[in-house]
Structure 1
């Protein structure tokens, strides 16, 4: 890639309800929170916005319900200049949503209800205009794997690189693995895929190398420890940037969007990962 090109994101949109609490509840526990607020979400939507924010045009393939949540999500995409031509509104399905509980340390846990995200029409992927000037396709695991496979096949036939953010963690079929150019996972997702506990940068490198036996390029983000890369372009790692943590919410999506935008500009993988690592550090230290 010698010039800036488009990215295509096929993935999820969620209306997030974010709750702030002193800690996340244990089984059977009721916790009194301090506030809540609605937010734009879904890994697909967040990554599309991050790509555009980093200066690269992005088209999104998604599905919304014909409801207030869907209207909110569509307005947000349009305001951030994500191309929504291929975002369908369904009259007989509710929009996807999630509830995220953020604790006093800035970490969080979430529950998602997929709704319309499970009804994205694979026929949309047959439209040549969707892929015009595109060099990268970005996928996540908040939609059906059958849709991801169809999207990856459509991209591969057009010589477009496929980036899979395997989040949330689930088994990845051999068929899907064979279509992926770059796999991006966090510590928990890496452990789920290769049974290696990622607790520091050394174990992140070990997990990346293990996963590289199955995927061409693997990027393992290890939160405050840093990021490790392994695969056909060699292996390297870099520590995290030391910042004051405010919230980890959305950090992974920021990382992926920034990395993809950098790759679309023709930057090397190593430099793209470094740029994404810095962007994620800024994201987790920013007041939301």
Structure 2
């Protein structure tokens, strides 16, 4: 029974990640359309092909990192990508890949060219949002390990809010995708481009240098002051859980956020199954 349960979980994980990989494939198609206009030489084409392959691998590693701790082999692979693309995190490496492609080849004014610049802008946002989400997840994990449930709930609430916001931006960008949505034409796309660009920029400005979430900012400052002393950190977490002024509505908010976050996952899986069915009927 345990083997069957693990098998079903693996299938579910595959279905959950597939929409993300589909999005990466759309980016790849967009890049290929831009390359047709730029007319790179054979060596440049091969280099971009490798970069797009790395983009896909980084997306898979990022998904895995959100679900569980990476294996030593995965960590080693990620570190190699970070060094190669001069990045501190996976999202930053992905941003650097697309930024390099855009700077070198994407000089057009077509809807696809503009959309790829929007994707780069979204990756700019993800560099910041994912750093915040990872930090909140770490705080949540530490708090739950110490049974500091009120603090853990506050961290989870903040994390889910950011994850939902990020997912909504991804959907916004998907709706503006001219690679798949052939109805977009150059003159009309300017308004779409400006709108999506404005929305993403507004979200980016919500991240000051110290981070966006007051709870995480305070925790990071505290950890720094502790000099890495885990015993002091644990005592601080327990004290914050006991004496913090937590919002009474956090449990109700959490239930709503968990439901909304699960809805996004379910909708993505349903969308994938619909696509698979349509492809099977062709």
State the TM-score, normalizing by the size of structure 1. Answer: 0.29
**Higher share of residues assigned strand:** 1
TM-score (normalizing by structure 2): 0.29
